[in-house]
Amino acid sequence: MWLHSMIDHAQGDGTVVFQDGSSIKADVIMHCTGYLYDFPFLGDDSTITVDDNCVDPLYKHVFPIEVAPDLSFIGVPWKVIPFPLFELQSKWVAGILSGRIKLPSKDEMMEDVKAIYSRLETRGWPKRYTHNFSGGYQFEYDDWLAEQCGHPPIEEWRKLMYAANAKNKAARPERYRDEWDDDGLVALANEDFKKYF
């Protein structure tokens, strides 16, 4: 099994030609397309739309602005460390539903959503990257959620481990899960986990 760039075309003899011009004979082609957001249970008159895999408009990737706080989505962002993110989003939603945390006005929430779209446009990224948290934004977002909830920020070892994994993944895309050099970070994590036992 090999990881390759995007496919340009396949030929009748089983040769697959990639966009970079390289080619191989393939027995199987497995496309890993990720998740497609779909909420058919909300009905056609929902205030939520999904366009180019962007759930729109969501304040902080959680609350549909028109019905906030009555409806929330946990876990929409991708390219994240999922469980700490989901926990922080859940705590934030619980804080808002309990009245301990206040949402800004609908206009202020919409301005925040527009700022995200503006950043995407500036980078030349398509709308489907709205919920992509690669490039370090995830920790800025996590720490913002933590601050809102009165929770400590994401641990530094976790951020360093994520960065080390990204570097390893770029250097060894086919073997990064099997080969790594992060024993020092694992030791930091183990020390941190001792607080809970």
The answer on 27 and 45 residing in a single domain is no
How far apart CA 153 and CA 142 sit, in angstroms, is 7
Q: Do 85 and 70 lie in a common domain? A: yes
pLDDT tens for each residue of the chain, 197 residues long:
667 777 888 888 989 898 888 898 987 776 665 678 988 778 777 788 999 999 999 999 999 999 999 999 999 999 899 999 999 999 999 999 999 999 999 999 999 999 999 999 999 999 999 999 987 789 999 999 999 999 999 999 999 998 898 899 899 888 888 888 888 888 989 999 898 88
**Full DSSP string of 19-56:** TTS-EEE-S------------GGG-TT-S-EEETTEEE
Residues 62 and 121 in one domain: yes
Check residue 1 and give its pLDDT: 60
* Structural domain total, the chain: 3
DSSP-derived 3-state class of residue 137: helix
Domain of 117 in residue numbering reads as 40-149
Shared domain check, 57 and 16? no
pLDDT tens by residue, 103-158: 999 999 999 999 999 999 999 999 999 999 987 789 999 999 999 999 999 999 99
